[in-house]
Structure 1
Amino acid sequence: MTNESRQDVIRKGSSIISATPNDSVMFEPIDNTLFNYLVLRTYSDISPEQQIYRVPVKEVMEYLRIDRIGKLQASLERLGKGFIEIDYVDAETGEPRSMYAHYLSSDVSSTGSGMLKFAFDPILVHFLSEPKVFGLISVSRVRDLKTVASQKLYEMMALQFRKKTPEWRCSVEELRAYFQAGDKNARFDNFRIHVIEKAISDVNAIAEFDIVVDYIRGGKGGGVTEIVFKALSKSHTRLIEASAIKSPSTRKKKPADSHTIDLLDGKTFEERGGPAELTMAAIESARDMIPDDADINHLITEWRDINRGRALTNPDQSFLSWLELKLSQENDPLLKDIDGDVFGLLVGGRD
C-alpha cells in the first residue's frame, strides 16, 4: 500500500469492530462510511472532555458522494437511533461485560445551516479514544464497499490480520446478526452464495489481504455449524491490483505529509521520526517466529519506537534481526539486561 492510501487510516477499537448491531434499525452502507469519516475528521480530538464537534456539511456530502442533504439526514437518524451491543473485558476485575451504545448524537436540523454538529455516544468514546486492541481501517476502502456485509467483513478481518493466527470463527447465526442479514437468503446455500461469498470477493478486490473461508459441518452430512475466515498476505501483484482499484469519481489525493497516519502502526511520520517501511514478506517471516500469544502489531511499534530518528538501509532485515535478538533475550539470561536501544544499534540503525 502506498503512502497515499494511508492518509485515511484510523485505529478502530476491537470492541467496536466486533460489536453486533441490534435489528431495531437496519444500517446501510452509507452509515458505516459516515461514522468512520467523522471519526477520521475528529481523530486527534476524541476524548471524554470534548463533547460536540462541527464539520462542514458540504465536505461530508462530498466525501459520501451524495448530492441530496436528505440522504445525509437519514443516515444521521439511523446512527442516532440504532444501537450496538459491545462485549468487553472490565479493566479492573478482568470479567467479561456487555453494554449498549448508539453511534452518534447529532443536530440534524443544523445541517441546513451548512455545519453538522454531532457527538459520539459518551460510553462509546471510551472505546474510540486510544484503544489498546484495534484494527487499522482505511476509511476510503470502507466507502468503496457497497454492502454492509462486505464493509463489516473488511473491518473484522483487518482486525484479525495482524494476529499470529489471523482468523475469525463464528456460527451461522452470529454471522447473520453481525451482517444484519435478517430473513433474507434464509437457506444457507443462498446466504453463502449471495452474502458471504460476495462479501469475500468484494473485500479481496480492495484490501491489503485476501480472505479465504472454510465451512465446518456438524458430523457426516450435517449442516454448517461454524464458519472460519482467514486473512492471508497478498502477493506483490495482488497488492498492486488492490491498491489500484478506485472509484471513477475519486479525486487525485495530495502527497502524504508529516501528519499522514501509517497503516502498520497508526502513527504519523512526525510521531515516528522517519519512515520504517516493512514488506508483507517480512511480516509473514516475523509471524512464523513469534509465539502464538504474541501481538505482531505491538512488536512493530516497539521496533519503530527504538529506531525513531534513524534512517534504516534495510528495514526488513533490521526488524527481523531485532526480533530474533528480542526472542533470544527472553530465553537467554546473559541477554536479559541488554537495553532495547542497544539492540536497535546492533541491527543496522543509522543516525
Structure 2
Amino acid sequence: MLRSHTCGELRIDHVNQQVTLTGWVQRVRDKGSLLWIDLRDRYGITQLFLEEGKSDPALLQTARTLGREFVIKVEGIVAERHSKNANIPTGDIEIKVSSLEILNESKTPPFTIEDETDGGDDLRMKYRYIDLRRNVVRESLQLRHKMAQQTRTYLDSQYFIEVETPVLIKSTPEGARDFVVPSRMNQGEFYALPQSPQTFKQLLMVSGFDRYYQIVKCFRDEDLRADRQPEFTQIDCEMSFVEQEDILNMFEGLIKHVFKTVKGIELSDFPRMTYDEAMQTYGSDKPDLRFGMKFVELNELVKGKGFKVFDDAELVVGICATGAAEYTRKQLDELTEFVKRPQIGATGLVYARYNADGTI
C-alpha cells in the first residue's frame, strides 16, 4: 500500500506516529517561513506542515510548486496542532512532513472543489470526474450505496431472493417507447432494453420463487420529467400468495428499516389514504401532505352565477392558501405562470382574496 492511513483517519491518539498519506492538494497556504497544505481524499482532509529552518530546503521548494489537485504522497510525524480546527475530524493534528513525492501534476481545475463551487451545471458535467471529488456529490453516492446495502439486508431477512434478469430482451408492451439495440447476428432485427423486469419476475413467480427482488436499471424512451429520466434504477419486487395488507406492511417495513439504519430516523406507522380520497382532496394519487392545502368543493357557491368557465365545469374546487391575501399582483402573476407549466398543465389561475377584515 502507498499509504498507511487515510486523510480522515488520524486523531490525537496518533501523535508522534510515523505515517504515510496520499491524496489531492486541496489548497496551499504559504506565509513565507511557514507553509501549510490541506491534503484531501474521499475520507477527509489532513493538514500538512513545513517550516523554514526545520524542514529540508529542497522539500520546501517542492512544496511551493504544488497546485490545486496535484496528487502527492507524503511521509511525516503526526503532531498536535497549536490552533485546532473543530470543524473537521482531523482538526486536532497535523503532519510534520519529512518526505514529499508528486505522483501526478494537475492543470488548474476549471472550478473550485468545494461544497459551494463556482462552476455552473454545464461546466461540472463536462468535467464530471472533477465534480465527483466534491463532498456533496460523493456523499450522495455514499448515501445511495448505503440505501442499496440496507435494502438488500432487509429483503434478505424477509426471505426474498435477488435475481438478475436479462437486459437485452424482446420488446414488450409498456407505458413508453423502447430503446432498441440492433442485433449483429440477425440483420434487421433488434433487442429492446427493458422498461421493467415485469415478464421475468412473473416467470419467477410461476417457477415457485415466491419472493423476488432486484435493484435494477430500467430504460424508457420518453420525455424528461422531474421524477423520471431515460435511464433510472428501481427496487423491483414481486410476491406470491399475499394480499394487499401483506404488501403494504412489507414495504412500509422496508422504508422504516432504511431510514433507521441509514439516517438514524425512527418512523412511526404510515398514514393511509384511499385513491378516491387522494384524488378528491389533492387531485393527485401521490399528494405532498406537507402543505396541507386540500381541495374544497365550490360547486354550490359558484355554479349558476353567469361565469361560463365555472358553469360549464363538471367540478369546481379551490385551495385555501393561508397568508396569500397579501400577495402583490406580480406575485399572483408568477403563480399563474407556475401552474401553466407543462408539469402542472393548468390553463390559468382564478383567485379571490379573503382579507383580514372579512372582505372579499
Instruction: State if a TM-score over 0.5 links the two structures.
Output: no
Greater helix proportion: 1
TM-score normalised by length of structure 1: 0.25
TM-score normalised by length of structure 2: 0.25
Q: Greater Rg, structure 1 or structure 2?
A: 2
Greater strand proportion: 2
Higher relative contact order (CA 8 A, sep 6+): 1
